[in-house]
Structure 1
Amino acid sequence: MSELPALPVTFRPGRTRAVLLTAATSIFVVVSAVALLLERLSPGERISFVLTAALLSGVVLMLARPKVVADENGITVVNFASTRRLGWPEIVQVNLRVGDPWVFLDLSDGTSQPAIGIQPGIAKEQAIADARTLRALVEARSGHDPETSRS
């Protein structure tokens, strides 16, 4: 990699996110329109339809939430229902192996943290490039030698 990006930098699955945001909007609009167009529904049933549409859209929006934000002090991993802040020294290795659904971060405490914000689903090449960039940032800022970390 020739040059590291300026920090802060955000990694997220752009195409997947666009599809999910479109789906959430479509679900809400279609179900709400059905509620308003069905003449036999009572006001309570119409409200129930709209609330159900909002709930379904909210679930889809949660799926669009993942991202990884790198800044001067470390990274913030935002997954579907959780957020975790990691300092650069805590990250030993960035992994995106063939068949992995997303990037995994090997941590200095011996655990692994999924980073769902970098996923090869729809845009495999972009995910690979993002994983390489994050790996280069970790290697440059953490002080870990990747060759000795792979034991």
Structure 2
Amino acid sequence: MGEVMETIARPVRIRRYVIPFALILLAALVVAGVLMRRTPTGATFGSADQVAMIVVGAILACAVLLLLRPRVRADEHGIEVRNVFQGKWFDWADVRAVSFPDGSPWARVELLADEYYPVMAIQAHDGQRAVDAMRALRAMHREHGGA
């Protein structure tokens, strides 16, 4: 039996921005929650309001961190694309091409039924890493599935 080849790609550059932004957002809402007892307008906030502000900060920070979820994984059987909210598996036989249209922020899988599925894991901002990931996916597609 031969060695199983697998390609995995995730966005890299966006991590530099998303993680600090989520931490700053959480810290700002924690500080706001802790300091929001009394305002100059005379409004008074209770402990439940403070806790709610901190919980909202945690929820928003987690929502921002969802931008780190995209991943693409390909092997000899097909390609799995996981974007922010959902993932999908495609057999190589169903894939016409893996492309990166000019001006697009990310790659896409082109299907035989004249449809396409975005691949948010391979982003234009990642430069050479995106080029390398596209080359690897295209090579796998040529070898295992396509024209």
**TM-score normalised by structure 1 residue count:** 0.81
Partner AA of 1:71 in structure 2 = D
Identity of aligned residues (%): 26
Runs of 4+ in 1 over 6 A off after TM superposition: none
Provide the C-alpha distance between the structure 2 equivalents of 1:22 and 1:141, rounded to a whole number of angstroms: 40
Is the Cα contact below 8 Å between 1:35 and 1:46 reproduced in 2?
yes
Which structure features the higher share of strand residues? 2
Larger Rg: 2
Count of residue pairs brought into register by the alignment: 138
Give matches, 1:47-62, under 5 Å.
Answer: 47-62=51-66
Counterpart pick for 1:23 among 3, 9, 21: 21
CA–CA separation in structure 2 for the residues paired with 1:56 and 1:83: 22
Gaps of 5+ in 2: 39-44
Q: Give 3-state SS (helix, strand or coil) of 1:14's partner.
A: coil
The separation in 2 between residues aligned to 1:32 and 1:71, in whole angstroms, is 44
CA distance in 2, matches of 1:22, 1:111: 36
Residue in structure 2 matched with residue 76 of structure 1 by the alignment: 80
Structure 1: 5+ residue runs without aligned partners? 1-5, 146-151
* RMSD (CA atoms): 1.8
Alpha-carbon distance in 1 for matches of 2:31, 2:6: 41
1 CA distance for matches of 2:115 and 2:130?
22
Query: 132, 135, 138: which one pairs with 2:138?
Result: 135
* DSSP-derived class of the 2:80 partner: strand
Kindly provide the CA deviation profile for residues 87-143 of structure 1, in whole angstroms up to 9, marking residues without a partner as x.
12211111112211111111122211111110112x22221221122111111111x
- TM-score for the superposition, normalised by structure 2: 0.83
CA positional deviation for 1:22:
2.4
